[in-house]
Every structure is written in structure tokens, then in C-alpha cells.
Chain A
């Protein structure tokens, strides 16, 4: 089955710096890759997603890149702000099914220092 690895587990940056979180997946049939932000006591919130027919997608300060050959995808946050502090999860769709079942990485705790 699909396996998703996420690095780093924790990341601390100064306000205004960039943050990069990387994920690898094992199932070459996976074709949908969302990223979620989770604040304490809340459910995950979708912040950006990318499909396998696209290499890069950007939404204001957030961008995601996908390398299908290498089976990895990354989240880039520019000009970080203290409110970006949260746990971030990557996920990949299970390629063998068409249900939308997602396999999640273990999460990255991002701390943005003012």
C-alpha cells in the first residue's frame, strides 16, 4: 500500500524567512496531493493541493511542487508570519482506489519566531 514520509518533523524559522517541508510517497499511481494545516484543538484545514498532471501550483505565499519521477512533493511558504505556526500534514491519494482515501505523513510542527 501507499506510504508517505514527511520531513522535517519540526521546523523553526524567523519571521519573514521561507519554510520548506518535503514528502515522499511510494505508490506511483497516486495522483492527488493535498496539504493541510492543523492548529491546536482544531481539525486539519486544506491550504493547497496539486494533481499529478501539474508540476507546480502557487497561492499567494504558499506553493507546492511535485516531482512524479522521484515521487516527492514539497510545500514552500514564503515571508512566514507568526500565524503560520501550526502542524502541517502532507497526504497522497491511494492510487489503487478511486475513493479519495488519503494516506498522511506524520506531520511537521512549524514555529515562526517573531
Chain B
């Protein structure tokens, strides 16, 4: 069956521009997570959705970062006024209903800020 789908797979943009990253979770999964992976590093939690609400936004690094989820499915992570330190791979994961259930990851969006 279809796994977690992320787009675009690669994004190169100039410093100061806004970017939108998309995540399409596994059908029926109510829990959705965004993580960030800097070069050669582990994954850093950004935000958690249960349905359309985000009860845990504690990992968003600044107010330039925001995310939404509509229809309990697709999620968009938006970074405004991008900075070079935003360069990383942004990974999305979903699980059936959150809690300690297995999270399944997409292949990520590799974001490069020039």
C-alpha cells in the first residue's frame, strides 16, 4: 500500500524566501509528525498533529515556522523568510492514532537555502 508521501523531494531557494513543504500521510492515520534532520545528525522533533489540531508544537524553532493540517490528512510545513540555518532534510511521519504506535516516515524534503 501507499506509504507517507512528501513533496517536493528537493527544494533550493534563496535566503529570505518563503517555502512550503507537503506531507501526505498513510491513509487513515490520525497522527502526523514533522521532524528535521540536519547533515549527519539525528532527527529533531518539530510538531505533532492529532487530526487537524496540533497539541504539541514545542519543537518549532522560531515563529518563522508554522504548520497546518486540513481534512485530517495532508499537512503543510511553512518556513517564512528562510535562513541558511534552515537547510536540512524535513521528514514527516504518521502513525495510526499517536501514542506509542510505530511511526512510518516519508523520504523527506531536502531543503537548501542559498
A33 to B29, CA, bound (A): 20
Within 8 A of A (CB), among B46-73: 48, 50, 55-56, 59
B interface residue numbers (CB < 8 A to A): 4, 6, 31, 33, 35, 40-45, 48, 50, 55-56, 59, 91, 95, 98-108
Query: Contact: A100 with B4, CB < 8 Å?
Result: no
Report the minimum CB–CB distance from B24 to chain A (whole Å).
Answer: 13
Query: Contact: B100 with A32, CB < 8 Å?
Result: yes
Report if A99 contacts B (CB, 8 A).
yes
- Report the count of interface residues on A (CB-CB < 8 A): 28
A100 to B94, CA, bound (A): 10
A interface residue numbers (CB < 8 A to B): 4, 6, 31-32, 34, 36, 41-46, 49, 51, 89, 91, 93, 97-107
Report the minimum CB–CB distance from A100 to chain B (whole Å).
Answer: 5
Query: Contact: B107 with A41, CB < 8 Å?
Result: yes
Please give, as numbers and ranges, the residues of chain A lying within 8 Å of B56 by CB-CB distance: 97, 99, 101
Query: Contact: A42 with B45, CB < 8 Å?
Result: no
Please give, as numbers and ranges, the residues of chain A lying within 8 Å of B100 by CB-CB distance: 31-32, 51, 93, 100
